[in-house]
Structure formats: C-alpha cells, structure tokens
Amino acid sequence: MSNTDMRTVVCPKCGGSNEVKVFRTVNATTDQNFREQLLGGELLRFRCSSCGCEAELKYPLLYNDMKNKFMVYYIPDADREKLTDEQLEKEYGELQGITRRLVSSYNELKEKIHIFESGLDDCVIEVVKAALKDVVEKRTEDKVTGGYFSKYSVEEGKIGFTFFVGDGNEQFVQTTRLEIYEKSKAVAKAGGFGEDDRSFRLVNREWAREALYKYKKNK
C-alpha cells in the first residue's frame, strides 16, 4: 500500500502555485508501476500547469520492496548516520530479515534499488566502489566527483561502476572481478550492524572508508 499527500508547490520559473500529489511511501511489490516511475524519474517529477516548467521534487519518501526484503528511506540531504523512527518501528518493527537503508539523494535511492534487486550486499558494494574510485583517480590523474553501481554479470565474472571524473563529469566505467567483491566482505563486516538493529542506516562512501579503517585497525 502507498500513502500520498497533496501539497502546494511553487514553480521555480513562473512562481505559479500547483497542487501536487506526493508519495510518502510506495510499495513496489503491490504495484510495479511505482518502481518503473521512480527509476524513470517520473514519480518525483514536477510539471508546472502554468508554464510547463519541469523540476525534480525533493521530499522524504519511503520505498518498500517486500519481495526482495528491503526498505530505503530517501531524505534529501540527510547527513545523519542512522534514522530511528518510532512510527516506522510501529508499522514495520515486527518484520524480520528486512534490510533498512537511509539515502540522501534520488540517485542513491535508485542505486540501492538496483543493488538489492541484484541480490548483492550494498555494504560490500560501497567498499568496492571506494577502492575502485582510487584506482580511477590514479588512471585518469583527475578527481572523481561521484559514481554508481552499473554492472553485475555472473557469466562474465565481473562487477562494474560508472564514475564521473573531472570538472566536466566525464563518465569512466571501471570493472573488476567478482572475486574482489567476495574478498571485500570481510571489510564490510568490520563496519556492519547488529542483527537486531532496526534503524535505517546511511551506507555510503564515508561509511565504506570508516569500515576500511576499522578493518585495518583490528586486523
């Protein structure tokens, strides 16, 4: 089941007021259309009824995938390490084996969906991504400004990421063997969480760096 609200949105271009339906929660298992609209960018897209201006809406959204047993809470520009929400605990606290994540951007939300749908551990993915970021910066001799998980092939035995490099954010694809993913599990485990932790956790580049630090410290 998905929950919605009606909100007044002011157009950033013409200043016109628009009544817009916003989604507080979406359930991708009961309605696959939500998944397609979110990944395609339509779910959070605003179109002004007066001038036709399009913009991305930014507001908290909970994405729930019961089939793949994960929930991702998108809170724009979130900077906290974890989110403990009493209302969410009341609604979903009894659910077992559910991965709960907190993300701060729309692109991170989409990336988490792809990771979990592929049956992968996002903690391990972040560790591998952080390591490959350093590789890409050495190869290109330029700064990596961002990156995302973009390839997983059991047949080829490879996993890959697309990075944005330099001031022009040029795309650079870097792949590595799946063995690296397996070997990175030990690092991810060092930064892991307790099995009874029901909080929504922020797992990103900073988390991966901290996990690597803990792993080296305790090795």
pLDDT of residue 86: 67
Q: Where are the beta strands (DSSP E) in the chain?
A: 3-10, 17-27, 45-47, 54-56, 61-65, 70-74, 82-83, 99-103, 144-153, 158-165, 170-177, 200-202
State the average pLDDT over residues 80-93: 70
- The fraction of the chain above a pLDDT of 70, given in percent, is 93
pLDDT of residue 217: 87
The whole-chain average pLDDT of the chain stands at 91
Q: How far apart are CA 41 and CA 126, in angstroms?
A: 23
pLDDT of residue 52: 94
Q: How far apart are CA 207 and CA 82, in angstroms?
A: 11
For residue 195, pLDDT beyond 70: no
State the average pLDDT over residues 161-165: 98
Q: How far apart are CA 36 and CA 199, in angstroms?
A: 27
Find the radius of gyration of the CA atoms of the chain: 19
The distance of Cα 107 from the centroid of its chain, to the nearest Å, equals 6
State the average pLDDT over residues 151-174: 97
Residue length, the chain?
A: 219
Q: Which of 134, 126, 132, 151 is nearest to 206 (CA)?
A: 126
Would you say 205 and 108 are in contact if contact means Cβ atoms under 8 Å apart? Answer: no
Confidence class for position 192, pLDDT limits 50, 70, 90: confident
State the average pLDDT over residues 85-101: 73
Q: How far apart are CA 62 and CA 55, in angstroms?
A: 20
Confidence class for position 3, pLDDT limits 50, 70, 90: confident
Q: How far apart are CA 160 and CA 167, in angstroms?
A: 22
